[in-house]
Amino acid sequence: MKILLLGGSSFLGRAYAAEALARGHQVTTFNRGRSAADLPGVEAVRGDRDRAEDVARLVDGRGWDAVVDTSGRQPAQAALTARLLRERADHYTFVSSVHAYADWAAQVIDENSTLLPCPADTPPDQPFGRELKAGAERAVLEGFGAERSLILSSGLLIGPHEFGGRLPWWLERMARGGRVLAPGDPGRTMQVIDVRDFAAFGLDRLEADTAGRFLTTAPPGHLTFGEWLETCREVAGAADTELVWVEDDLLLAEGPDKVEPWLELPFWAPDLPEWKYIWLVDSDRARAAGLRCRPFAETVRDTWEWLRVRGPANDTDAEGRTRVPGSTFRQGIEPAKEQRLLAAFG
């Protein structure tokens, strides 16, 4: 099968490329060549998907059995590629997100839940917002046709080559040793999915010429936050690494040391109404269609091995915090602030 990957060089795109090559498919990638090097074995075409002339040059004289869009963030991007590729490919997989649903994470969502309002013809270069993925979905379905389109709404992706800094931050924090601030309830369940499992499922559905929509993440209860931190500690922790659990309310108390959920302590989702169902996405349909999730410990070990080869990230500051892609925010708590909280509550 001939597959065009829009993106294809970093994290999810890289996982798709690696899995597709391993299955014997012919892979073309289309990207600007800035994020990472393309894998050996792909046909790499350079260009900017926001420029109609670049996309037209890509499709000139070429055709594919399927397109996999791992990089579409704006409706205008998806509309352009769907329009120019609909006569050049038979199938379009668009990777969306659970964030596109209006009720995530205040309610349990499934494939029939309501998407956020965002039209397919939203002007380009909009500020980042959850609704843009919903608009991009609509653009693909309008431009390529629902009968030839597959929407994969991803959960939280982790694994080797992760650029969001969540699992890597915890691993590197454990490796520094000492007393580690562990937030909230260790029994709180999580839903995260290894990027390689996501890509494998997506290619399974592509090979079966599946259309429709799947919420693609691990089943509820697949992992607890305590297991997350303990596994990170075991894989990367120094001998003196100690987890110190501190209740949500203490970390959320107003004051200079109030902790920002999710960013300062990655994946910490405290017990608040707006976060109640963040880890309760209904993924039954994907699992019935063959989605399989590897043990979390395997993901952690493989990510740690990759980190040891990669070394410090270029966008990591002197305090070990990693920039969140597409924003000015930093992932991770300042060491001095962590020590103050441990002294006060641990």
**What pLDDT, in 10s, does the model give residues 185-202?**
999 999 999 999 999 999
Q: What percent of the chain has pLDDT over 90?
A: 88
For residue 67, being part of any structural domain is answered with yes
Q: Are 296 and 228 in contact (CB under 8 A)?
A: yes
Output the average pLDDT for the chain: 94
- Residue ending a domain, among 130, 154, 178, is 154
Q: What is the mean pLDDT of residues 25-42?
A: 95
Q: Which domain, by its residues, includes 88?
A: 2-154
187 and 93 share a domain? Answer: no
Structurally, how many domains does the chain consist of?
2
325 and 230 share a domain? Answer: yes
14 and 115 share a domain? Answer: yes
- Residue ending a domain, among 154, 176, 206, is 154
pLDDT tens, position by position, 47-93: 999 999 999 999 999 999 999 999 999 999 999 999 999 999 999 99
7 and 53 share a domain? Answer: yes
Query: Where residue 94 sits, what CATH number does that domain have?
Result: 3.40.50.720
For residue 202, being part of any structural domain is answered with no
CA distance 176 to 316: 15
For residue 238, being part of any structural domain is answered with yes
122 and 9 share a domain? Answer: yes
CA distance 19 to 21: 6
Helix (H, G, I), strand (E, B) or coil at 172: helix
The answer on pLDDT for 327 being more than 50 is: no
241 and 323 share a domain? Answer: yes
121 and 235 share a domain? Answer: no
Q: What is the mean pLDDT of residues 313-337?
A: 67
Show the tokens assigned to 70: 């791992």
For residue 313, being part of any structural domain is answered with yes
Distance from CA of residue 136 to its chain's centroid?
16
30 and 114 share a domain? Answer: yes
232 and 108 share a domain? Answer: no
For residue 77, being part of any structural domain is answered with yes
For residue 207, being part of any structural domain is answered with no
For residue 287, being part of any structural domain is answered with no
230 and 110 share a domain? Answer: no
100 and 184 share a domain? Answer: no
pLDDT for the residue numbered 318: 57
pLDDT for the residue numbered 317: 60
Q: Are 210 and 286 in contact (CB under 8 A)?
A: no
Q: Cis omega before residue 105 (within 30°)?
A: yes
pTM: 0.94
93 and 178 share a domain? Answer: no
Show the tokens assigned to 35: 């994020």
CB-based burial label for 65 (10 Å; 0-12, 13-18, 19+): middle
For residue 183, being part of any structural domain is answered with yes
